[in-house]
Amino acid sequence: LANPHAQVAYDRSAEELLGEEYVVAPLRRHTLPPVTDGCAAVVLAAGDRAFELCARPAFITGIDHRLEAHAIGARDLTRSPSTELAGQKAGVANGSVDVAELHAPFAHQELILARALGLGAGVDISPSGGALAANPLMSAGLIRIGEAARAIWSGKADRAVAHATSGPCLQQNLVCVLEGV
């Protein structure tokens, strides 16, 4: 509701949502992403140039991406080892996280990703509404980085994590750590 770029926005109770028919059990409409037209762009600047262009730049202090096997039968789909590994390489645990923007086009994936990244109860997860609010497939990951940067620009976060996924059932995952100074 607070994101003017969101496609799907409403304030409804959990009881009301659980009253929906299944689309395919156990998935109901509210656990699925919308079909979206959209585009995202992010401008990167190196070093001190960022301070000339932006009052409070969001510096990328870690970024990594990892891949899993394609065959879903070869994977434990209740975990996301590629997110765990990318999170370690990007240094997610090297400080406290204020905001995490997770690319979870299916609601249950947010739980798997939050656990893979070790995000505790104090982390504000996907304040933009995430991919459940707007899912322009190939740019839905990039805008997670944009939204995490926006949280730093505004001072809402000092340290933020952004995540993007590709492939069936979270096959490929990217983790980006952003910090304000």
Partner 1 sequence: MSERCAVIGIGQTVAKSKREDVSIAGLVREAAIMALDDAGLTFADIDAVVVGKAPDMFEGVMMPELYLAGALGAVGKPMLRVHTAGSVGGSTAIVAAHLVASGIHDRVLTVAFEKQSDSDAMWALSVPQPFSSPLLAGAGGYFAPIIRAYMHRSGAPRDIGMRVAVKDRRHALLNPYAHLHLTDISMKMVEDSIMLWDPLHYLEACPSSDGAAAMIIGSERAAAQAASETGRRPAWIHGMAMRSEPTMFAGRDQVNPLAGRDCAADLYRQAGISDPRADFDMAEVYVPFSWYEPMWLENLGFCPEGDGWKLTGAGATSLIDGGDIPWNCSGGVLSSNPIGASGMLRFLETALQIRGLAGEHQVPDARRALGHAYGGGSQFFAMWVVGVDRP
The Cα–Cα gap between 66 and 8 comes to 30
- Pick between residue 2 and residue 71 the one whose CB is nearest to partner 1: 71
The Cα–Cα gap between 30 and 170 comes to 19
- Pick between residue 128 and residue 172 the one whose CB is nearest to partner 1: 172
- Pick between residue 91 and residue 153 the one whose CB is nearest to partner 1: 91
- Considering the complex, what minimum distance in angstroms separates the CB of residue 62 from partner 1? 12
The Cα–Cα gap between 108 and 174 comes to 18
For partner 1, the binding residues (CB under 8 A) are: 64-71, 74, 81-82, 85, 166-168, 171-172
- Considering the complex, what minimum distance in angstroms separates the CB of residue 166 from partner 1? 7
- Considering the complex, what minimum distance in angstroms separates the CB of residue 14 from partner 1? 34
Residues 61, 160: contact at Cβ < 8 Å? no
- Considering the complex, what minimum distance in angstroms separates the CB of residue 107 from partner 1? 23
Helical packing angle, 81-90 and 107-116, nearest 10°: 50
